[in-house]
Amino acid sequence: MSNLGIGVMIGMLSGNKETVKAFNGAVGKSIKALGIDDDQLVFTFIDGSKIALFDDGQSCCEHRWMHTDDDLDDFIGATLRGAEVRDGPTDSSNEYGDLKESQFLIVSTSLGQFTVVNYNEHNGYYGGFSTVCREVVE
């Protein structure tokens, strides 16, 4: 991975206690609704609670987004079991020298796994990812 951006470094320094608490509180719950909204993977559970997983590493001069090729509707009714993050490839093949990094979020459920990809396109100075989980309060 290239140079880490300030947003990623701040995330690393602040730890992940809130993320671990929010995600662990959701493990074992049944999924009522699931989707990507505003570059966040949002889970709504049968008990009415919600969490969002997203890349919180935004720094200056980057473009970040989230995508999946999986049909998330296939996981409605499943029980959330866990998740892991894996670094993906970095593409530097564009004409301007910008980098396009990727990081995979693999979510495990009682009905199998699905993968969401976070992307970060930048000029080489703002790399890295900071995937976090937050409770959604409406």
**Is the per-residue pLDDT at 15 higher than 70?**
no
pLDDT single digits (tens) 63-85: 888 999 999 999 999 999 999 98
Whole-angstrom Cα distance, residue 10 to residue 1?
A: 17
| Strand 40-45, strand 31-37: pairing | antiparallel
Q: Virtual CA dihedral for 78, 84, 90, 91, nearest 10 degrees?
A: 0
Q: Write b or e for each residue in 10-32: b if 16 or more Cβ atoms lie within 10 A of its Cβ, otherwise e.
A: ebeeeeeeebeebbeebeebebe
| 41 vs 130, residue with greater confidence | 41
pLDDT at 14: 52
Helix (H, G, I), strand (E, B) or coil at 2: coil
| 76 vs 3, residue with greater confidence | 76
pLDDT single digits (tens) 22-66: 999 999 999 999 999 999 999 999 999 999 999 877 667 778 889
**Is the per-residue pLDDT at 108 higher than 70?**
yes
